[in-house]
Amino acid sequence: MNFFPSVKWHIKVFFILFVVFIFMNLSINDNKFRVKLAITPSQIQNGMTGKNFNEEYNGLYFIMPYKGEQSFWMRDCLVPLDIIMIDGNVITEIHENCEPCDELDCKSYKGYGDKVLEIAGGTCEKLGIKKGDSVSFSLL
């Protein structure tokens, strides 16, 4: 059965790999991260709510459904986060040490792009990650 009749085979394989492999390796400069993918609407909406990083992953990588202005908040998160907005493979905005919020009226962190990376708060400053840096990834 062909679920995607009009899509080329290599795009189908890439999509299947993204769905099957929920983790991938991501690099910014010489800094390596093991990230968990957030690609479904539910995964994107929930983000790091009620979660903490562990030995399996040290970042959450959001593949957004559209390129444009993105907005994130820290409602019910457990730890401070650096929120990195990415357009293509270039960092367009960094919000550092975003504090958790347990109220309905939480601060929004905005930026342009088609992907967003959340990592432990203070990581960008510690590793020298800045706006304009390139992001690369691999599935293995």
In a domain, 64, yes or no: yes
- pLDDT tens-digit map of 33-57: 999 999 888 889 988 888 888 888 9
In a domain, 27, yes or no: yes
Domain residues for the domain of 33 are 22-138
- pLDDT tens-digit map of 92-127: 999 999 999 988 889 999 999 999 999 999 999 999
- Going by pLDDT thresholds of 50, 70 and 90, the confidence category of residue 20 is very low
Question: Per-residue DSSP letters for 91-140?
Answer: EEEEEEEEPPB-SSSPPPEEEEEEEEEEEETTHHHHHT--TT-BEEEE--
- pLDDT tens-digit map of 61-80: 999 999 999 999 999 999 99
In a domain, 32, yes or no: yes
In a domain, 16, yes or no: no
In a domain, 43, yes or no: yes
- Identify the pLDDT of residue 55: 85
Share of the chain above pLDDT 70, in %: 84
Residue of 26, 45, 50 lying closest to 102 (CA atoms):
50
Place of tokens 């970042």: 59
Q: What is the CATH number of the domain that holds 90?
A: 2.60.120.1140
In a domain, 12, yes or no: no
Share of the chain above pLDDT 90, in %: 61
- Identify the pLDDT of residue 1: 44
Q: How many domains does the chain have?
A: 1
Quote the mean pLDDT of the chain. Answer: 87
In a domain, 1, yes or no: no
Dist CA 110 CA 125 (whole Å) = 19
In a domain, 17, yes or no: no
Write out the H or E segment, with its range, that includes residue 14: helix 9-20
Residue of 16, 124, 138 lying closest to 89 (CA atoms):
138
